[in-house]
Amino acid sequence: MRPTLAGTSGMTLLEIMVVMVILGLIASLVGVAVLDQLEEAKIKASKTQIHDFGQALDLFKLDFGAYPSTSEGLQVLTSPPDNKKPYMKTVPKDPWGRDYVYISPGSHNASSFDLESYGADGNDGGNDDIENWQ
């Protein structure tokens, strides 16, 4: 029998490993939840930006009688013709760092415009695209 010091206690290697595994499982579950929330926040931010673009584009149409053409794009909102006041200070990129896709007249909104973000995968089509016609 091994001698022990009176009043000392410690954890065995097995106990430490069990605690580490439990902490790892908890951390992975929390990490997945946080990543899901981050992705959801990006989707909401993209929807908000598309709404803001829509308001600026509607004001542009009130002043000029038509939406900007596809070739003029969204950039015309920052420096409109006829020295008009800008409708936006800058044209933001989507939350994934890519340009929004603007088409006028739109194929989904023939009387106005189509505006979309390709979402997390960056490709047209699929479930992660965020459009103004949804």
CATH of the domain at 53: 3.30.700.10
Is 2 a member of any domain? no
- Residue-wise pLDDT for 107-126, tens only, equals 888 888 999 999 988 888 87
- Residue-wise pLDDT for 67-82, tens only, equals 999 999 999 999 988 8
Of the candidates 48, 39, 62, the one whose C-alpha atom is nearest the C-alpha of residue 115 is 48
| Domain enclosing residue 87, as ranges | 18-131
User: Domain total for the chain?
Assistant: 1
Instruction: Record the tokens describing residue 26, joined without a space.
Output: 């908890």
Non-local (6+) Cβ contacts of 115 within 8 A are 50, 53, 54, 57, 100, 101, 102, 103, 106, 131, 132
Exposure string (b/e) for 90-108, b if CB count within 10 Å is 16 or more? Answer: ebeebbeeeebbbebebee
Is 111 a member of any domain? yes
Is 112 a member of any domain? yes
Which of the residues in the chain have pLDDT under 50?
none
Is 9 a member of any domain? no
Residue 3's pLDDT is what?
Answer: 61
